[in-house]
Amino acid sequence: MKELFGLEGQSALVVGGGYGSGRITAMLLKQAGARVAVADIDGDRARNVAEEFGAHAIVADVTTVEGANAAVDEAHDKLGGLTRLANIVGLVRMQPFIENDLALWQQQLQLNLIQQMLVCQAAGRHMLAEGGGVIAMTASVSGFYGARNNAAYGIAKAGVMSLARTLAEEWGPHGVRVNCIAPDITATPRLTEQMPGATEAEALARFDAMAAGEGVPLRRFGRTHELSGPLLFLLSDLSSYMTGQCLVVDGGTMVRFPHVTSADNARQP
């Protein structure tokens, strides 16, 4: 079991690793035995996480070619190789499609899709040259559904899933696996900190009440570590025969029969 789940001897980069699910992913990778680097646009965040878990901090904006290449190359140099990559960077900006302008589309595609392509390409150069590796990206259920008020985000996240499938085909023969996760609403610090005047416990309780009201089968929204756990699974040998896949992390929402009324919800035990 330890051999399958453990990452001793592996060198791992977490992009967006300075906060929330990136921070927890860095912690889990470290606990699994990997040498870890965290890259983040926010230098204080990257340095704090690096200090907390004994990782290497990299400050980079991965939405640029230069930033993505520099982050990956620095991780490769400092860790003595690069065999694992987790990329959690992404952010939604909600607005009805009719009000969108080109700048919003470009920003959303750059932050949610193109940076994943840039980072994958930079990491792939090392992994293909050095005998293999494993990549786990972060998509969203918005990439499956019609993404109301999130058109560009949904398109970008669907693109992340497509990228995983394409790289599985192109890089599988060379020992590189590429998968992604698709979370639904997850109460990461970014979301809980936006609830004015609420402690973390109160914010979580409000999120859970919302989830229950919406009929989420598990009757709550996800927690930060519930994004990191599936990422760790995808980066470990427990998933060694998986590539090109997207793991849905949504408390069961996608498999629900859609026409459930609140009366139906109330009747359930």
Ligand X SMILES: NC(=O)c1ccc[n+]([C@@H]2O[C@H](COP(=O)([O-])OP(=O)(O)OC[C@H]3O[C@@H](n4cnc5c(N)ncnc54)[C@H](O)[C@@H]3O)[C@@H](O)[C@H]2O)c1
Report the nearest approach of ligand X to the CB of residue 140 (Å).
4
Between CA 191 and CA 68 the distance in angstroms is 26
Q: Is 145 a catalytic residue?
A: no
Report the nearest approach of ligand X to the CB of residue 264 (Å).
25
Sign for the pseudo-dihedral over CA of 47, 50, 56, 58: negative
Report the nearest approach of ligand X to the CB of residue 112 (Å).
6
* Residue 24 or 176 having the CB closest to ligand X: 24
Report the nearest approach of ligand X to the CB of residue 74 (Å).
13
Q: Does 148 bind ligand X (CB under 6 A)?
A: no
Per residue, what are the HEC states of the chain?
Answer: CHHHHCCCCCEEEEECCCCHHHHHHHHHHHHCCCEEEEEECCHHHHHHHHHHHCCEEEECCCCCHHHHHHHHHHHHHHHCCCCEEEECCCCCCCCCHHHCCHHHHHHHHHHHHHHHHHHHHHHHHHHHHCCCEEEEEECCHHHCCCCCCCHHHHHHHHHHHHHHHHHHHHHHHHCEEEEEEEECCEECHHHHCCCCCCCHHHHHHHHHHHHHHCCCCCCCCEECHHHHHHHHHHHCHHHCCCCCCEEEECCCHHHCCCCCCHHHHHHCC
* Residue 48 or 166 having the CB closest to ligand X: 48
Catalytic residue among 19, 145, 153, 241: 153
Provide the mask over 123-142, with x wherever binding to ligand X is found by CB under 6 A and - wherever it is not: ---------------x-x--
Among 12, 14, 19, 126, binds ligand X (CB under 6 A): 19
* Residue 41 or 117 having the CB closest to ligand X: 41
Q: Does 195 bind ligand X (CB under 6 A)?
A: no
Q: Does 63 bind ligand X (CB under 6 A)?
A: yes
Report the nearest approach of ligand X to the CB of residue 35 (Å).
20
Among positions 28-57, residues that touch ligand X (CB under 6 A) are: 40-42, 45
* Residue 20 or 124 having the CB closest to ligand X: 20
Residues that bind ligand X (CB under 6 A): 16, 18-22, 40-42, 45, 60-63, 88-91, 138, 140, 183, 185-186, 188, 190-191
Residue positions annotated with a catalytic role: 153
